[in-house]
A = this chain, B = another copy of it.
Amino acid sequence: MGKISINKIAEMAKVSKTTVSFVLNGRGDEKNISQKTQEKIRKIAKDNNYKANFIARSLSLGKSYTIGFIIPDISNPFYGKIAKQIEEIAEKKGYSVMVANTNEDINKETDIIENFRARQIDGIILASAFKDYNQLKDRIGTDYPIVLFDRFFPENENLFIGINNYNTAQRLTEVLINKGHKKISLVSITSYLPNILDRIKGYKNALEKANIELDEDIIFEIDPSNIKDGVKNALTMIVTKEDSATAVLFLNNVMAAEGIWTVNTMYPKYKQKLDFASFDNLDLFDYVTPKVTSALQPSTEIAIHAVNMLYDKINSNTVSKGIQLETSIINR
């Protein structure tokens, strides 16, 4: 079972394996194989439930028809949603998807890429933990088809598909300003990642445009390895200090969720007094106070573009153009 090969079919049909290969790949007519022979071969293949060995074909063709999807954490619904779409689109093009998690560890990321490459995976879609493109390039070279998403590298815009972080941060901040807030706190993670830096710039620019003076006391950069305490401390500062922020912009949904938790459990009196805004959406934002205005990423479009860009790179080695999509602000 499952052991039927092209050789065995050739033997049964009393033809060469070349002929079998031609026929089963739909090149029978082109190769002038008689209808009689073609039918005979197809019948035997069908009767024996023949399925070509993909590994053998891959070795021969030098392609695995597999793409890699490498992200910090597949259990994060944001990545999960994109993973699903990518799988769906890739499948239509005859590609399967291999998934791996880096946990934001650049060494693990490097290992995964090397492993995927050794597996002859044709190209990867990557949310990289690397600080900049040059570091990544030093480790993995430049001759492997890659599309970057979620994490942006200014040094190489053309590999990127994702959102415009700067604009999104600006728009989220403006929503809070338009609600009448004058003191808007920023809760960020300490990070060198360009997408985070862009978000911070967008926040600052929105304040400047509205002539609101920047108050460094309500800008918090918290340790990504201890988000819980970082957010708790930030909110404690806000609620205890006289005349402090009345709104908070969180640079990702994990911190926003922590913020909601903290206010609800530690400072319930402030539930109605604070307005929140956050990057990325979470289902729970629909249910909670403080109200959270969020920026929803167009995950379907990101997935479509990502697969198409990678496909083009794999199959025609074109230099794609990077894409920055706008987010939808969900005003709550």
Given that A80-B80, A261-B286 are contacting pairs, would A2 and B117 also be in contact in the complex, using a CB cutoff of 8 Å?
yes
**In the complex, per-residue mask of A25-68: 1 if CB is within 8 Å of any chain B CB, else 0:** 00000000000000000000000000111111011000010100
Sample of 16 A–B contacts (CB below 8 Å): A1-B141, A1-B143, A2-B117, A2-B141, A51-B114, A51-B117, A53-B120, A55-B58, A87-B101, A96-B115, A96-B119, A260-B287, A282-B283, A284-B284, A284-B288, A287-B288
Q: Which residues of A contact B (CB under 8 A)?
A: 1-2, 51-56, 58-59, 64, 66, 73-77, 79-81, 83-84, 87-88, 91, 96-101, 114-120, 141, 143-144, 257, 260-261, 264, 282-284, 286-288
Q: Which residues of B contact A283 (CB under 8 A)?
A: 257, 282, 284
Does B55 lie within 8 Å of A83, measured CB to CB? no
Contact call B99/A97, Cβ cutoff below 8 A: yes
Are A98 and B101 interface neighbours, CB within 8 A? no
Q: Are B100 and A99 in contact (CB under 8 A)?
A: no
A56 to B73, CA, bound (A): 30
Copies assembled: 2
Alpha-carbon separation in the docked complex, A13 to B284 (Å) = 62
Expressed in whole angstroms, the minimum distance between the Cβ of A113 and any Cβ of chain B is 11
Give complex CA distance A233, B93 in Å. 41
Closest B residue to A54 by CB, please name it.
Answer: B119
What is the minimal beta-carbon distance from A80 to any residue of chain B, in angstroms?
A: 4
Measured between alpha carbons, how far is A234 from B261 in the docked complex, in Å? Answer: 30
Q: Which residues of B contact A51 (CB under 8 A)?
A: 114, 117-118
- The CA-CA distance from A319 to B212 in the complex, in Å, is 69
Q: How far is the CA of A99 from the CA of B101 in the complex (A)?
A: 13
Q: Which residues of B contact A79 (CB under 8 A)?
A: 80
CB A124 to nearest CB in B, in angstroms, measures 13
